[in-house]
Amino acid sequence: MKKITFAWALLCALWGLPGHAQWPYDVPFVPSPQIVVDEMLRLAEVTKDDFVIDLGSGDGRILITAAQKFGARGIGVDLDESLIEQSVANAQAAGVMDQVQFIRQDLFKTDLSKASVITLYLLPGVNMRLRPALLALKPGTRIVAHDFELGDWKPDVKVTIRKNAMLWIVPANVAGRWRISVDFPEGERVFDVEIRQQYQEIDGVVRITDAIPGGLWQTSLRGDKVRFSIVDNAVRELEATMYFDGVVREGVMEGELRRGVGVTQTRHRWRAIRIPK
């Protein structure tokens, strides 16, 4: 990795370090307070079923806490050999060496595909270089960071307890045209939907037979879970809102639809396939 120039000089000024101080890696080692570590992992809802990858793992405290307090497994990645040795010693002292591993490796060359949770305490420029790889991860992967964000990819959740902790959930790719089919008792209905997407934010337009095009309402995309509402206005006297909840998998969306409200509400299965451009 390249040495820090301006960024390190700025940090030196902020932390009162000597201006001639040097750090041989892209990110200087500044440990996260334990209370922030706890909050990061709580925010990511880490459990024993998770595999955590800590990028820039420092003294190992994030991964060790994930193992000790949440039962997770995982690996920590850092370039500083002395910090790797310190992390291993800390993990041995904590009794979690059967759950964690620390490797000396360039974080940009690390295979992230095994992770269900990724933790970060890096600089903004490093986060931005990582962002394409993070967005390419499996939908639903949770990314949690201390202090520094991911540019215009806004966090799903942000909390402040002494310091900022932010959570992103990798969104499924739902942008484009979809054809929704619903089996109502009176027969199959088909709706064509055009979805626009920026990260986890979605909106769109729906066309129902010959009716005037309408909007998608109450939209939500959280990992591979999608939610939206459509007003069924094919017959004006029988207008009703259709509430769609579904899961996105490999060019298909499907789930349950609730039409109407109260005692008149009915439930139906729905399925959508992507329409090629």
pLDDT per position as a tens digit, 152-205: 999 999 999 989 999 999 999 999 999 999 988 888 999 999 999 999 999 999
Average pLDDT of the segment spanning 100-123: 95
pLDDT tens, residue by residue, 21-75: 444 555 566 778 999 999 999 999 999 999 999 999 999 999 999 999 999 999 9
pLDDT tens, residue by residue, 134-164: 999 999 999 999 988 999 999 999 999 989 9
Average pLDDT of the segment spanning 97-121: 96
Q: Indicate if 91 and 132 belong to the same structural domain.
A: yes
Q: Indicate if 39 and 160 belong to the same structural domain.
A: yes
Across 15-29, 79-93, 127-141, 194-208, least confident range: 15-29
Single residue among 169, 196, 223 that ends a domain in this structure: 169
Single residue among 131, 150, 169 that ends a domain in this structure: 169
Residue 211: pLDDT band by 50, 70, 90 thresholds?
low
Q: Indicate if 37 and 164 belong to the same structural domain.
A: yes
Sign for the CA dihedral angle at 147, 109, 77, 70 comes to positive
Residue 131: pLDDT band by 50, 70, 90 thresholds?
very high
Q: H or E segment at 96?
A: none
Q: H or E segment at 253?
A: strand 252-259
pLDDT of residue 233: 78
CA angle 185-186-191, nearest 5°? 95
pLDDT of residue 209: 65
Q: How many CA atoms lie within 13 A of 54 on its CB side?
A: 32
Q: Indicate if 209 and 151 belong to the same structural domain.
A: no
Q: Is the pLDDT of residue 232 over 60?
A: yes
Q: Indicate if 158 and 201 belong to the same structural domain.
A: no
In this structure, what CATH number is given to the domain that contains residue 41? Answer: 3.40.50.150
Average pLDDT of the segment spanning 241-267: 95
Q: Indicate if 118 and 207 belong to the same structural domain.
A: no
Q: Indicate if 88 and 39 belong to the same structural domain.
A: yes
Q: Indicate if 160 and 48 belong to the same structural domain.
A: yes
Q: How far apart are CA 47 and CA 242, in angstroms?
A: 34
Q: How many domains does the chain have?
A: 3
Q: Find the largest Cα–Cα distance for the chain.
A: 77
In this structure, what CATH number is given to the domain that contains residue 269? Answer: 2.40.128.120
Q: Hey, which residues does 245 pair with through a beta bridge?
A: 227, 256
pLDDT of residue 55: 96
Would you say 94 and 66 are in contact if contact means Cβ atoms under 8 Å apart?
A: no
Q: Indicate if 100 and 186 belong to the same structural domain.
A: no
Q: Is the pLDDT of residue 2 over 50?
A: no
User: What is the average pLDDT score of the chain?
Assistant: 89
pLDDT of residue 277: 79
Q: Which of 195, 182, 185 has the alpha carbon at shortest distance from 221? A: 195
Q: Indicate if 20 and 40 belong to the same structural domain.
A: no
Q: Indicate if 156 and 35 belong to the same structural domain.
A: yes
What percent of the chain shows pLDDT beyond 90?
77
Q: Indicate if 111 and 24 belong to the same structural domain.
A: no
pLDDT of residue 4: 39
Q: How far apart are CA 151 and CA 160, in angstroms?
A: 18
Range of the domain at 108: 31-169
Quickly count: other Cβ atoms within 10 Å of residue 272's Cβ: 26
| pTM (two decimals) | 0.86
Structure tokens at 35: 């209370």
Q: How far apart are CA 14 and CA 56, in angstroms?
A: 21
* Pairing status of strand 252-259 against strand 266-274: antiparallel
Would you say 198 and 174 are in contact if contact means Cβ atoms under 8 Å apart?
A: no
Would you say 131 and 106 are in contact if contact means Cβ atoms under 8 Å apart?
A: no
Single residue among 113, 145, 169 that ends a domain in this structure: 169
pLDDT of residue 27: 57
